[in-house]
Amino acid sequence: MFKKSLGLAFVSFIALSTNAHAQLEWPVITQQAKPWARWWWEGSAVNEKDLSDVLHLYKDAGLGGLEITPIYGVKGEEADNILFLSKKWMQVFDYTLKEGKKLDLGMDLANATGWPFGGPWVTDADASKSMEFKQYTLQKGESIQEPITFIQKALVRGEHRPAVDISLIKDPISLNSSADLQKWALDQVRFPVKLPLICLMAYDEKGRQTDLTSLVDKTGHLNWKAPADGYRLYAVFQGLHGKMVERAAPGGEGFVIDHFSAAAVDHYLAHFDSAFNGDALDGLRGFFNDSYEVDDAAGEADFTPKLFGEFKAMHGYDLKQYLPLLLDKDNETEQASRVLSDYRETIGDLLLRHFTEKWQHWGKSKEKLIRNQSHGSPANILDLYAAVDIPETEGTDKLRFKFASSAANVTGKTLTSSESATWLKDHFLSSLADVKKAIDLYFLGGVNHIFYHGVAYSPVNAVWPGWLFYAAVHFQPTNPQWHNFSKLNEYIARCQSFLQNSEADNDVLQYFPIYDSYASRGRSLLKHYDGMKGFEGTAFKSNAEWMLNNGYSFDFISDRQIGQLSFDDDGIKTAGGHYQTILVSAVTYMPERTLEKILQLVRAGATVLVYDHLPESVNGLGRQAGRQKKFDNLIQSLRFATSKRGIQKASLGKGTVLLSNDLAALLAAGKIRKETISDQTGLQFIRRKQGNGHYYFIDNRSDSAFEGWVSLQAIKKGAASYALFSPMRHSSGIARTRDINGKKMVLLQLRPWESIIIQASTAPVRGAGYVYTEKLADPIPLKGTWKLSFKSGGPVLPKAVTMSQLQYWSTLSDTNALNFSGTADYTLEFKKPIPDNSAKWWRLDMGDVKENAEVFLNGQKLATLIGPDFTLDIDDNLLKKNNQITIRVSNLMANRIHYMDRSGLNYKMFYNINFPAHEAENRGRDGLFTTINWDVKPSGLTGPVTLTPIGPKP
């Protein structure tokens, strides 16, 4: 467990008597419970001494582990670059694993440099492919006069401005030097080469097909004439998509793999096997893959050499016979939609089997975990997430998070991770309080394994601000906030110690209508799935949002996962636990096997909820007639009768199907638990199961304090006891409860943006009560002469000043103070206030703090406060007649960076993407981030600093 600061120790002393029951003990903080971070190795220009030094810094800051991701290099440091997976690289990697093990720091490794998977060892045969085609129209007796060939247009995309001339780039890519590839920062390259013809198909006006491929000679000449008017010919060619590894490290530059090809994935992973050379990789926990991101380029990677064979094996018909339906973007017929759906399903299945599952098996063979970001893939991402050990999400949307956490919950995985705080505000503007708000949202979305994005390896003696990464939140030791970073990490570790040692307790499995999306044309052949993108205006999205906002707990579920469900006395059973119902939200297309499984569960006793209308048809074109007949018979087995509130009810075996266009009524009829916590302004929650009880993580996402009684639905007959744990203040105790209309209510007092963990237990818990407080009198301002002294930072330490009125140091006339980023002390001598009532504690409110602070009273450290709340309860006994308080404030990096921009001092010294602006107003004439138009950012303390007498709430 973390050591408590003296300022928080007194709170825990009050809350926990020495004879407190063991159930009130905080869970043990493990390496895995602590937050981890992506660790950028820029240029892999690392050395053993600096590796050791920074690893100790990370350990002391409270990180539990790191994910090594080699990335582009630093200008001026080229001589120290180490080529990825070279013998020297493996030596420093092995050293890092050993040092990490000594320090109890876990290690993961990205299976690539940058993203997506690729490198110089990826040949054209294994690189991502595109489907290119030409269309011809012939009348009777006509033939194609030109050669049926396709010369791929040259294309170069990348960060280099102006774009590199294609004539300078050698083909194959592996012939180019790493130095040139770093300089060019290529994102996509297509050479002007002749593409291989895959097939040539002719279609008459009635749609009858003729395969003409064998009639095309080596020169591209077709020896064939149209036997009738209105023939359309489609020539399909295998293109080289040209996607390059983004942000590649030296030795990692090259084409991205064909994720749909088993051979390409085997060849790719074999290169790692060769580099590892049988090493057991002791100290390495697992491997990581960033989000798919192959198609954030020109065109799409929408083909693979064995596509047509795989398609036929999966769907029972030849896709080549239906090319007009697939390739004509304006064809909105039902048959075209069905062919398109089958094509998209095939691509998704190949991505699952040939990449995700194959990679998972490879990791398992090495006894390593696989952590994957599946979002953005052209597949059912619930199945991709479910195929790996640790599904990982990112972003700022809880519904987006729930795709990863749902897959983990349904399949019984312990961890759901997140790429956290990638972009909050623009560079140098995010505070630890901003990060805390973002992290809490991940917890509410089901994440329990935080990865910061990230820390960049930087030599200890590098000129300030050191080596940085292009994403905007800089978790660097050079950041003044690093001084108090451990406080945030302790908070996260305490939260995750509960969230990792419990299981999801959600009631509803909401069916993911992937086939409705597959059948909708869209702008491209493929669709890429990432949260609710593409589901705007659907009942699936609106119902999920409504449940999220109205106290219903749910997970998403795929067709493949429904196939693994069973039913017992506790409800619908998954590998991860039990659910009360399945919700089908206005779905049009559903495989007959999915419908059959759902109705099997109903016959066994399950209740299934159908919103608005029953599914209408099977998906796709393959074997449609037989499948549709079976589907129709299943639908016809449901005999609905109208019951209360207009709900239509069909009994089938031991269970029921309920149908309504009123979601609230539908959930009520299904007896689904509604948590009224969400009815309280600002409060959001997630519910978890643990042993004989439950945990609730509740977050007050508001600038206002909350006090009130909340009802909990976890234990229907009422828990024997409720305990509260405040992970930021490290206080705990037995909650105050009362019964209202047969419901157990728990009293909560939450400060702005504070979270609380409630342990609801069926077993009795003995121990001291949780400390509830009330204000005894009005706040008393601390007045007098404040001394401001600067402790550490730069570029120059300003001179100490005194002030009768608190003010930011950024408002002083001293130019050094305006430019300063670092840490400074605000110190005041004051007499102990004498209130009208006897105070047990004094609530110190520091008012406006930019950006975080440590508090010292009479030379004794009381606490570290990172915000958003800057209040602290001080035991009355700690105040003497005469006192000295010091508030040690650390600000942002912003003002010192602003000074560097104004002074022409360069910190943007990176290859590839050299410091982009997140916001357009921070983009300079050179296209890079700049602070030149900023005002000086507020830094320090303005208060008012007050003491308020408080006592126990009666």
pLDDT of residue 619: 98
- CA atoms of 220 and 218, how far apart (whole Å): 5
Instruction: Look at residues 534, 532, 533 and name the one whose alpha carbon lies nearest to residue 544.
Output: 532
What Rg do the C-alpha atoms of the chain give, in angstroms?
A: 31
Distance (Å, whole) CA 606 – CA 598: 9
Q: What is the pLDDT of residue 836?
A: 67
* CA of residue 368 relative to chain centroid, distance: 21
Predicted local distance difference test score (pLDDT) of residue 718: 62
CA distance to 507, 532, 795, per residue, from 667 (Å): 10, 22, 61
Cis peptide before 196 (omega within 30 of 0): no
Q: Does 9 score more than 50 pLDDT?
A: no
How many CB atoms sit inside 10 A of residue 504's CB? 24
Q: Supply 145's token pair.
A: 């006069």
The pLDDT value recorded for residue 716 is 64
* C-alpha closest to that of 706 among 727, 735, 677, 734: 677
DSSP state of 353: I
Residue 290 has pLDDT above 90, yes or no: yes
**Mean of the pLDDT values across residues 818-832?**
98
Q: What is the pLDDT of residue 717?
A: 64
Residue keyed to tokens 């204000």: 775
Angle of helix 334-350 versus helix 307-315 axis, rounded to 10 = 110
The answer for residues whose C-beta is within 8 angstroms of residue 166's C-beta and 6 or more apart is 154, 155, 156, 189, 191, 192
Axis-axis angle for helices 485-499, 432-444 (nearest 10) = 10
**Nearest-5° Cα angle at 397, 392 to 401:** 25
Whether 71 has a pLDDT exceeding 50, the answer reads yes
Nearest to 326 by CA among 309, 314, 343, 351: 343
CA distances from 598 to 277, 437, 625 (A): 48, 39, 21
The two structure tokens encoding residue 863: 């606490």
Q: Are strands 417-420 and 449-456 parallel, antiparallel or unpaired?
A: parallel
Distance between CA atoms of residues 496 and 27, nearest Å: 9
Confidence of residue 161 (pLDDT cuts 50, 70, 90): confident
Q: Is the pLDDT of residue 5 over 80?
A: no
Alpha-carbon 629 to chain mean position: 42
The band of 714, judged by pLDDT with boundaries at 50, 70 and 90, is confident
Task: Provide the residue type at 775 as one letter.
Answer: K
Which is it for strands 648-652 and 640-642: parallel, antiparallel or unpaired? antiparallel
Mean pLDDT of 81-100: 98
Percent of the chain with pLDDT over 90: 92
pLDDT of residue 76: 96
Is the CB of residue 587 less than 8 Å from the CB of residue 513?
yes
292: left (phi over 0), alpha (psi -120 to 50) or beta: alpha
Please state, in angstroms and as integers, the Cα–Cα distance from residue 162 to each residue in 156, 159, 192, 420, 813, following that order. Answer: 10, 9, 20, 33, 44
Residue 384 structure tokens: 């991709």
* pLDDT at position 849 over 70: yes
pLDDT of 1 > 80? The answer is no
Mean per-residue pLDDT over the chain, rounded: 95
Residue 742, burial from CB neighbour count under 10 angstroms (0-12, 13-18, 19+): exposed
Residue 15 has pLDDT above 70, yes or no: no
- Specify the pLDDT at position 23: 56
Cα-based distances in Å from 445 to 449, 454, 537, 548, 701 = 12, 21, 22, 10, 14
Dihedral (C-alpha) 96, 99, 101, 104: value to the nearest 10 degrees? -110
How far apart, in whole angstroms, are the C-alpha atoms of residue 448 and residue 440? 10
Tell me what percent of the residues of the chain surpass a pLDDT of 70.
97
- Averaged pLDDT, 490-502: 98
CA distances 186 to 290, 336, 858, Å, are 18, 37, 59
Q: What is the mean pLDDT of residues 769-777?
A: 96
Distance of CA 738 to the CA centre of its chain: 39
For the stretch 592-631, pLDDT in tens is 999 999 999 999 999 999 999 999 999 999 999 999 999 9
Contacts of 312-319 with CB under 8 Å at 24 or more apart are: 314/342, 314/345, 314/346, 314/349, 314/622, 315/342, 315/345, 315/346, 315/620, 315/621, 315/622, 315/623, 316/622, 316/623, 317/621, 317/622, 319/343
pLDDT of residue 764: 84
pLDDT of 739 > 60? The answer is yes
Q: Which residues contact 210 (CB under 8 A, 6 or more apart)?
A: 201, 202, 203, 204
Q: Which residues contact 820 (CB under 8 A, 6 or more apart)?
A: 790, 793, 794, 795, 796, 797, 798, 809, 810, 891, 895, 896, 939
For the record, the structure tokens of 950 come out as: 């408080």
Say if strands 946-952 and 780-781 run parallel, antiparallel, or are unpaired: antiparallel
Category of 310 on φ-ψ map: left (φ > 0), alpha (ψ -120 to 50) or beta: alpha
Local confidence band at 680 (pLDDT 50, 70, 90 cut-offs)? confident
- Of 394-408, 578-592, 706-720, 839-853, least confident by mean pLDDT is 706-720
For residue 59, pLDDT over 80 is answered with yes
Averaged pLDDT for residues 859-883: 97
Asked if 114 and 126 count as a contact pair (C-beta separation under 8 A), the reply is no
Distance set, CA 930 to CA 465, 908, 922 (Å): 15, 10, 5
Q: What does the pLDDT read at residue 692?
A: 79
3-state DSSP call for residue 841?
Answer: strand
Rounded CA gap, 485 and 433, in Å?
Answer: 11
The pLDDT of residue 264 is above 70: yes
Query: What is the DSSP pairing of strand 390-394 with strand 369-372?
Result: parallel
Work out the average pLDDT over 424-452.
98
What mean pLDDT is predicted for residues 657-663?
97
Residue 16 has pLDDT above 50, yes or no: no
The pLDDT of 368-373, averaged and rounded, is 98
Number of alpha carbons in the 13 Å side-chain half-sphere of residue 901 = 21
Rounded Cα distance between 228 and 139, Å, is 6
Return the structure tokens found at 237: 């060619």
Contacts of 145 (CB under 8 A, 6+ apart): none
Report which secondary-structure segment, H or E, holds 284: strand 284-289
Nearest CA to 393 among 353, 422, 352? 422
Strand partners, 787: 802, 827
**Statement: residue 280 has pLDDT above 50:** yes
